[in-house]
Amino acid sequence: MLGIGGIGMSALARYYHSQGHNVAGYDRTPSPLTRQLENEGMAIHYEDNPSLLPPHIDFVVYTPAVPHDLNEFEVLRQRGLPIMKRAEALGKVTEGHFTIAVAGTHGKTTTTAMVAHILNQCGMNTTAFIGGIANNFNSNLLLCKEKDFVIVVEADEFDRSFLHLHPDVSIVNSIDADHLDIYGDKGHVVAGFNEFAHLTHDLVIVKEDLDVVVENNVRFGFGEACDYRIEVIASEKGVTDFVIDGEGQKTEIRLPMAGRHNVLNATAAFIAARQTGLTPNAIAEALSSFKGVKRRFDIRVNNARHCYIDDYAHHPEEIRSCLTAVKESFPDKRLTLVFQPHLYSRTRDFMDGFAEVLAIADRLILLDIYPARELPIEGITSKALLNKVQMTDKRLCTKSELVALVDSERPELLVTMGAGDIDRFVEPLENMIKTW
């Protein structure tokens, strides 16, 4: 497995391992996830060296995040081995099982975890592949040992991966311009999601304002015309109460999460769970015990003096949703945001959008751009982004300076945000803040 340490790849690795396969893999850098996989018995190496490949390999799975000029990739191609993209392998795993696939440029990980939790909590045989660590399972994989089970999968639009899936029920909960290095423009992103929707056998669950045109769909949202309409929202201290009006009845939901975006995610999960035959009341009860996903509005410290939240948001609309929910939940606290931009191309494509939403914070600490798979782009830097943000209390910071800077300022409300390696700072910051 090339890129075995990725959140989606590691879940698939665990699944294969549970089925008795001998799983080995390569990743660029060790991480807590790869260490866990090694502890579970998988052989992983961190050097692009073909001599480290196992002598016998039946098939290869890769993530599109792995560069195609990887030496090991070339050697494996020359061997003539079957080579599959992660989503293609996932598609083969789902064959013969009732499958719920969750798609969207934002919200898919939380919604996938919600669906998995609901089905599992209600006693349904469920295997789920989640693009994050679901707190209810403390894992990115929910594994059912029975032969007959429902599969819940996160359907990733990056590199058009989700087109390898053939779900029975699918959710499309957001479509924004993203991955423009793949799609070119928003029109092609919308076309990709429509192509995915048309692969769905039974029902497509679509947020009300999305341009998805399929016959077998239901709409959800706040509008009067929705098949499942959200009513009466009250939110306090990170708990949200709302009502879903659909199928001729109203169901009261208590969700232990903040933000209208999470209300929408929960509503989509509610509709998907209904397709498996679960009752509205059983689904509502299950949602009340949902514990969220690590790095998704993840409240790490919340005491009388300080609050610290970590989030994976890396697109302007995700940042807007998260910071709006933070402000609603903690209206009296001054918000300090530490943001690590992810990808030069995304920073270039949405420079003005990032500048606008980062200004929602009261103080901004901006880290260098995390390059992931990309080479630098001339003129696209964190300094260029910082200059565009219309606020006075802002500064650049290196990763090596970050912990000391936060310790010296001791903000009352801290949010760390980004999809790069900013997650390596979460535990050190949490442990430090608890000592203040």
Is the pLDDT at 180 greater than 80, yes or no?
no
* Paired tokens of 337: 């945001």
Is the pLDDT at 296 greater than 90, yes or no?
no
Same domain as 189, residue 45: no
Is residue 271 in some structural domain? yes
- In this structure, what CATH number is given to the domain that contains residue 16? 3.40.50.720
Is residue 2 in some structural domain? no
Average pLDDT score over residue span 92-113: 93
Same domain as 367, residue 416: yes
Show which of 263, 287, 311 is a domain's final residue: 287
Neighbouring-strand partners of residue 311 = 417
pLDDT digits (tens, 9 = 90+) for 208-257: 989 898 999 999 999 999 999 999 788 877 789 999 999 999 999 999 98
Q: Give the residue among 385, 392, 158, 414 at the shortest CA–CA distance from 302.
A: 414
What's the pTM value of the predicted model, to 2 decimals?
A: 0.84
List, in order, residues 6 or more apart from 10 with CB less than 8 Å away: 4, 33, 34, 36, 37, 140
Phi, psi for residue 311 in degrees, rounded to 5: -145, 150
Q: What is the phi-psi region of residue 422: left when phi exceeds 0, alpha when psi lies from -120 to 50, beta otherwise?
A: alpha
User: In terms of pLDDT, which residue wins out, 235 or 96?
Assistant: 96
Same domain as 279, residue 308: no
Is 64 in a helix, a strand, or coil?
coil
Q: For the chain, how many structural domains are there in total?
A: 3
Phi, psi for residue 398 in degrees, rounded to 5: -85, 160
pLDDT digits (tens, 9 = 90+) for 104-142: 988 899 999 999 999 999 999 999 999 889 999 999 999
What is the residue-averaged pLDDT of the chain?
93
CB atoms within 10 A of CB 308: 24
Same domain as 29, residue 148: no
The answer to whether 217 and 208 have CB atoms below 8 angstroms apart is: no
DSSP designation for 369: P
Same domain as 120, residue 104: yes
- In this prediction, residue 232 carries a pLDDT of 79
C-alpha distances out from residue 88 to 61, 160, 168, Å: 9, 11, 16
The percent of residues above 70 in pLDDT, for the chain, comes to 99
Is residue 413 in some structural domain? yes
Is 423 in a helix, a strand, or coil?
helix
Q: Please state, in angstroms and rounded to a whole number, the distance separating the CA atoms of residues 386 and 355.
A: 7
Domain that holds residue 11: 7-81
Same domain as 305, residue 429: yes
Show which of 239, 259, 287 is a domain's final residue: 287
pLDDT digits (tens, 9 = 90+) for 418-430: 999 999 999 999 9
Is 192 in a helix, a strand, or coil?
helix
Same domain as 244, residue 96: yes
DSSP string, 160-185: GGGGG---SEEEE----S--HHHHSS
The answer to whether 78 and 149 have CB atoms below 8 angstroms apart is: no
Same domain as 306, residue 277: no
- In this prediction, residue 179 carries a pLDDT of 64
Is the pLDDT at 291 greater than 90, yes or no?
yes
Average pLDDT score over residue span 382-402: 97
Instruction: Give me the active site residues, please.
Output: 108-109, 154
Is residue 189 in some structural domain? yes
Same domain as 182, residue 147: yes
Phi, psi for residue 344 in degrees, rounded to 5: -65, -40
Same domain as 126, residue 75: no
